[in-house]
Chains A and B, each alone.
Chain A
Amino acid sequence: MITLKKVEKNYRRGAEEVRALRGIDLEIEAGEFTAVVGPSGAGKTTLLHILGCLDLPSRGELYFDGARVDKMRESELVTLRRTKIGFIFQQFYLIPGLSVVDNIALPLMFSKSQGKKDRIEELAQTVGLGERLHHVPSQLSGGEMQRTAIARALVNDPEVILADEPTGNLDSTNSEKIFDILHKLHQKGLTVIMITHNPELAQRANRTISIKDGMIA
Chain B
Amino acid sequence: MSGMLKLSVQNLLRHRTRSFLTMLGIAAAVGVLFSVFSFNRGFEEGLAKEMQATGLHFMVAPSGCAHEVAALVLHGAVTPNYLDTGVLEEIKNADGVSLATPILVAQLPNPDQQRIDLIYGVETDLLPEIKPGWEITGEIPNGTHEILLGYNVAEHADIKPGAEFSYPNMDTVFTVSGIIGQTSSQDDAFVYMPIATAQDLMDRPNGATAIGAKVDTPERLGTIINNLEEQVPGIQIVTMGQVMNSVANVAASAKSLSLAIALVALIIGAVGVMNSILMAVFERSQEIGMMRAIGASRWNIFQIIMKETTILTIVGGVAGIAVAMLGARLIESFVRQIMPFVPTGDMLRFDLGLALACVAFALVVGLLAGLYPAWKASRINPIEAIKG
Map CB proximity to B onto A44-62 as digits: 1 under 8 Å, 0 otherwise.
0100010010110000000
Tell me which residues across on chain B come within 8 A of A118, comparing CB atoms: none
Tell me which residues across on chain B come within 8 A of A108, comparing CB atoms: 3
Pairwise interchain contact B296-A96, C-beta atoms closer than 8 A: no
B residues 13-48 in Cβ contact with A at 8 Å: 13-14
Query: Size class of A's contact patch?
Result: 20 to 34
Known: A54-B382, A95-B287. Is A156-B295 also a contact (CB below 8 A)?
A: yes
B294's partner among A45, A49, A106 (CB-CB below 8 A) is: A106
Query: Size class of B's contact patch?
Result: 20 to 34
Pairwise interchain contact B14-A96, C-beta atoms closer than 8 A: yes
The residue in A86, A89, A110, A152 that gathers the most chain B C-beta atoms within 10 A of its C-beta is: A110
Tell me which residues across on chain B come within 8 A of A111, comparing CB atoms: 295
Stretch binding the partner chain, chosen from A63-71, A74-82, A185-193: A74-82
Closest Cβ of chain A: how far from B298's Cβ, in Å? 7
Known: A45-B387, A89-B386. Is A81-B294 also a contact (CB below 8 A)?
A: yes
Pairwise interchain contact B11-A97, C-beta atoms closer than 8 A: yes
The residue in B293, B383, B388 that gathers the most chain A C-beta atoms within 10 A of its C-beta is: B293
Pairwise interchain contact A106-B14, C-beta atoms closer than 8 A: no
A83 to B286, CA, bound (A): 22
- Name the residue on A nearest B300 (C-beta): A110
Tell me which residues across on chain A come within 8 A of B287, comparing CB atoms: 93, 95
Confirm or deny: A143 has a beta carbon within 8 angstroms of a beta carbon on chain B.
no
Confirm or deny: B7 has a beta carbon within 8 angstroms of a beta carbon on chain A.
yes
Closest Cβ of chain B: how far from A208's Cβ, in Å? 24
A152 to B287, CA, bound (A): 14
A98's partner among B6, B298, B383 (CB-CB below 8 A) is: B6
Tell me which residues across on chain A come within 8 A of B4, comparing CB atoms: 109
Known: A49-B383, A93-B290, A95-B287. Is A110-B6 also a contact (CB below 8 A)?
A: no
B383's partner among A55, A74, A95, A105 (CB-CB below 8 A) is: A55
Confirm or deny: B297 has a beta carbon within 8 angstroms of a beta carbon on chain A.
yes
Tell me which residues across on chain B come within 8 A of A93, comparing CB atoms: 286-287, 290, 386
- Name the residue on B nearest A93 (C-beta): B290
A45 to B385, CA, bound (A): 13
Map CB proximity to B onto A119-153 as digits: 1 under 8 Å, 0 otherwise.
00000000000000000000000000000000011
Confirm or deny: A107 has a beta carbon within 8 angstroms of a beta carbon on chain B.
yes
B3's partner among A87, A102, A156 (CB-CB below 8 A) is: A102
Confirm or deny: B10 has a beta carbon within 8 angstroms of a beta carbon on chain A.
yes
- Name the residue on B nearest A84 (C-beta): B295
A87 to B293, CA, bound (A): 7
Tell me which residues across on chain A come within 8 A of B387, comparing CB atoms: 45
Tell me which residues across on chain A come within 8 A of B6, comparing CB atoms: 98, 102
Pairwise interchain contact A98-B7, C-beta atoms closer than 8 A: yes
Confirm or deny: B354 has a beta carbon within 8 angstroms of a beta carbon on chain A.
no
A78 to B11, CA, bound (A): 24
Confirm or deny: B291 has a beta carbon within 8 angstroms of a beta carbon on chain A.
yes
Tell me which residues across on chain A come within 8 A of B298, comparing CB atoms: 74
Known: A55-B383, A95-B287. Is A152-B10 also a contact (CB below 8 A)?
A: no
B residues 277-317 in Cβ contact with A at 8 Å: 286-287, 290-298, 300
Pairwise interchain contact B7-A95, C-beta atoms closer than 8 A: yes
Closest Cβ of chain A: how far from B215's Cβ, in Å? 72
Known: A52-B293, A75-B297, A82-B295. Is A109-B383 also a contact (CB below 8 A)?
A: no
- Name the residue on B nearest A87 (C-beta): B293
Pairwise interchain contact B383-A78, C-beta atoms closer than 8 A: no
- Name the residue on A nearest B301 (C-beta): A110
Tell me which residues across on chain B come within 8 A of A110, comparing CB atoms: 291, 294-297, 300
Pairwise interchain contact A81-B290, C-beta atoms closer than 8 A: no
Tell me which residues across on chain B come within 8 A of A106, comparing CB atoms: 3, 7, 291, 294
A97's partner among B14, B290, B291, B293 (CB-CB below 8 A) is: B14
A102 to B4, CA, bound (A): 10
A107 to B292, CA, bound (A): 10
Known: A78-B295, A152-B294. Is A54-B10 also a contact (CB below 8 A)?
A: no
Pairwise interchain contact A109-B3, C-beta atoms closer than 8 A: yes
A110 to B287, CA, bound (A): 14
Name the 3 nearest CB pairs between A and B, nearest first: A97-B10, A82-B295, A93-B290
Q: What are 13 A-B pairs at a CB distance below 8 A?
A: A49-B383, A54-B293, A55-B383, A89-B386, A93-B287, A95-B7, A97-B13, A106-B3, A106-B291, A109-B300, A110-B294, A152-B294, A153-B294
Interface residues of B, Cβ cutoff 8 Å to A = 3-4, 6-7, 9-11, 13-14, 286-287, 290-298, 300, 382-383, 386-388
Interface residues of A, Cβ cutoff 8 Å to B = 45, 49, 52, 54-55, 74-75, 78, 81-83, 86-87, 89, 91, 93, 95-98, 102, 105-111, 152-153, 156
- For the A-B complex with A95-B7, A111-B295 known, give 14 more contacts whose Cβ atoms are closer than 8 Å: A55-B383, A81-B293, A87-B290, A87-B293, A89-B290, A89-B386, A93-B287, A95-B287, A97-B9, A97-B13, A105-B3, A107-B294, A107-B295, A107-B296
